[in-house]
A and B are shown apart, each in its own frame.
Chain A
Amino acid sequence: MNRGSAFTGLNEILQEAERLNPAGSLKLSDSIVSAIYGRAERIAQKAVSQEARPAVDWDKRLDDILTSKLFGFPSMFLLLAALFWVTVSGANYPSEVLAAVLFRGQEKLAELLAWLRVPAFVSSFLADGVYRCLAWVVSVMLPPMAIFFPCFALLEDLGYLPRVAFNLDSLFKKAGAHGKQSLTMSMGLGCNAAGVISCRIIESPRERLIAVLTNNFVPCNGRFPTLIALAGLLATGAGASAGAALIVSGMVLSGIAVTLAVSWILSKTLLKGIPSSFTLELPPYRRPQLGRVIARSVFDRILFVLRRAACVAAPAGAVIWLAANVQAGGASIMAHFAGWLDPFGRLLGMDGHIMAAFLLGLPANEIVLPVLIMSYTAAGSMLELDSFEALRQLFMAEHGWTWLTAVCMMLFSLLHYPCGTTLWTIYKETNSFKWAILSALIPLLVACLVCFAAARAARLLGWA
């Protein structure tokens, strides 16, 4: 037996098949499909019986509201806003407790290092650099994540997410994109890298690329807490949580609007074509498995945040501390860098420190805020940052932030390039450097344009 004879056998069979079924004249698929469907129908008729239909079909009633033309979008927005409100108001307290505990840990660490007679330079490097950045990431990131994602997972378990896709389908169609993009978009809320991978559910390569390139316009894990913290700066007084929740919802909506706009532009320019159609099944609503979903997704979030904190935030803290403390020509490297970026930052409604923080935050968006704080505090006085008040004091009072600075930073955070992991994932998924680079450049361009326009408009109108 050799290789040749086996393939001869196969070739003979193929020739025979061609003779028996010349040019598909047997209509094989059609008769197979109809035979199988007929059989399934007969079996189901015999084995399944439906006693009197239930009086009220709750699924249908609910769908009539949640996916209707009139109430579909308002109900979606309300749910989103409610979700953020729960997150913002729920995250405040644990965030402060965590910060208090972790920053006390920093003191203890400093004491321990002093007791060990570690040189001041090294001690400061470890305590103020590595540890502080890690503590910031954990205390700022963890509570919102541990609240938002279980709630979101509950909505998913309930069967609501396919309805979101259903509602948004027509919008994506109009933008020349695929309806399933709304699903990859909601996946991006969790993590843009996961969102990019989930774009595989879109069969057509053109629409998949659109979905990949626009996935970062929904804020991920790492940018959510930044948005929440900045919204917290803007909203004060009695309805602070509700105000912050509305601001964050507004940001997410703007992200969706930009997604649609960029998708539309892409489908008219780089990626021309007509959207393909697909069938989307609306599964029945199901009572969520409360305990399991919450336990599982809280656990997942904690692991995720801690792992990112350890892998990215700690080394980043080290680098940034060095940049902020190594002096060159009378000022730190960080100050030089920030000073160099300052004119550009001002143009976009921000300042050089913020731009530097975004640039250094490329490995992971989680560290943008910690980098900024470190870059600010290293230059001036050190203070305990264990509450929103302290943050407000630092940003607003000491570094001349206005509401416009906060808004522009939120917009930039929402729209700028995705993190390094996501870019790498895009490269792996598309197998092309071109698309990976474009997926960083397009959002960057959009972010710069939007921030520039916002800053210009506000200044011209005399609002800021």
Chain B
Amino acid sequence: MGLTRRSGGSRAMQEGFLKRQYSGADYVVALAGNPNTGKSTVFNALTGLNQHTGNWPGKTVLRAEGRYIHRGMIFKLVDLPGTYSLMANSPEEQVARDYLCFGKPDATVVVADATCLERNLNLVLQVLEITTRVVVCVNLVDEARRKKIKIDFQLLAAELGVPVVPAAARHRHGLDKLVEVVSEMAAGRITTRPVAIRYGEEIEESVRKLEPKIKKLVGEEFNSRWLALRLLDKDRAVLAALENWLAGRNSLAAGMEGVILG
């Protein structure tokens, strides 16, 4: 709702006027999560007043970006819309999903609610299908403690194959650690080992046939397994994004040729 901040306050009317403000960031970090997990609290705590809002291109979905500096490096934090899944059932889910694949953030933080971790893990696993450079921030651990919920974070990290940072963002607990892990992840100093989910032999067989062709087309740019699954499902949105990207690359390539020939 956010009546407290952007939506009802003095900035309400600036919406749509500001597009991406900073291009000079060293790393781009996406922030995903279910609604009501304290995602905005994390976003606000990290970026402070360095925030800008606008719309996602072509969609009436609010896009918030912010920036923070850690060890001399500028991190741009992109707040994805809060969603329960990435099945692209709504504009929000589609925006979040397309950004994770085609926006190619250097790291992605998935904020999860410690008090109902199972439901939140669905989103984490779906994000892991698209990108492996993920840090899971298990937020609201103070509330979970109050409800006598115990979480084995080491086991969780081992199961997911990516770093897990417990946090209570409202009290700024765990955020220093989060920033630290994110910067390691963005710089590529952390190896992740997520276990890909297998879907029945028939589907896997089809993916095996399709994946090499996709690799040939897009190279190592995107997650070819995920693209294979999406194209197998004839996902129009992904197809459009892919076409768009191909067109962009081609025009770039054409431009380069011109330079070389000239």
Binding site for B on A (CB under 8 A): 1-3, 6-7, 9-10, 12-14, 16-18, 20-21, 24, 26, 28-29, 31-33, 35-37, 39-41, 43-44, 46-54, 149, 152-153, 156-157, 161, 183, 186-187, 190-191, 193-194, 197-198, 200, 203, 281, 283-284, 286, 289, 293, 296-297, 300-301, 303-304, 307, 421, 425, 428-429
Contacts and interface: CB of A to CB of B under 8 A. Distances in A.
B206 A21 contact: yes
A20 B209 contact: yes
B12 A191 contact: yes
21 contacts: A1-B253, A2-B254, A3-B254, A6-B249, A10-B217, A13-B214, A14-B234, A20-B209, A26-B206, A28-B232, A31-B203, A35-B198, A40-B118, A40-B119, A44-B117, A47-B152, A49-B151, A51-B148, A161-B1, A191-B8, A197-B7
Interface residues of B, number: 71
B15 interface: yes
B250 A40 contact: no
A15 to B, nearest CB: 10
Given A9-B216, A10-B243, A187 B150 contact: no
Interface stretch (B18-26, B68-76, B121-129): B121-129
Contacts of B233: 21, 24, 28-29
A49 B118 CA distance: 11
Q: Could you tell me the dominant secondary structure of chain B's interface residues?
A: helix
Nearest to A51: B148
A198 B9 CA distance: 13
B190 interface: no
Interface in B158-181: 159-160, 170
Given A29-B87, A36-B197, A284-B115, A153 B156 contact: no
A43 B4 CA distance: 36
A191 B122 CA distance: 36
A32 B229 contact: yes
A20 B3 contact: no
Contact of B121 (A26, A43, A421): A43
Given A28-B203, A44-B117, A428-B16, 8 more contacts: A17-B210, A20-B210, A35-B198, A50-B147, A51-B148, A186-B3, A301-B9, A307-B10
A1 B255 CA distance: 12
Given A48-B150, A197-B12, A198-B7, A33 B87 contact: yes
A-B residue pairs, 10 tightest by C-beta: A190-B8, A300-B9, A44-B118, A40-B121, A20-B206, A303-B10, A194-B12, A283-B36, A47-B156, A153-B4
B143 interface: yes
Nearest to A165: B1
B13 A52 contact: no
A54 B61 contact: no
Contacts of A16: 209-210, 213
A459 B90 CA distance: 53
Given A6-B217, A54-B148, A17 B12 contact: no
Contacts of A421: 13
B247 interface: yes
A187 B2 CA distance: 9
A183 B1 contact: yes
Given A51-B148, A297-B9, A6 B232 contact: no
Contact of B4 (A1, A6, A26, A296): A296
A29 to B, nearest CB: 7
Contact of B213 (A13, A52, A183): A13
A12 B213 CA distance: 9
Given A10-B243, A13-B210, A429-B60, A52 B148 contact: yes
Contacts of A37: 122
A187 B125 contact: no
B242 to A, nearest CB: 7
A4 to B, nearest CB: 9
Contact of A48 (B87, B117, B160, B216): B117
A422 to B, nearest CB: 10
Interface in B110-154: 115, 117-119, 121-122, 124-126, 143, 146-153
Contacts of B151: 47-49
Contacts of B60: 200, 429
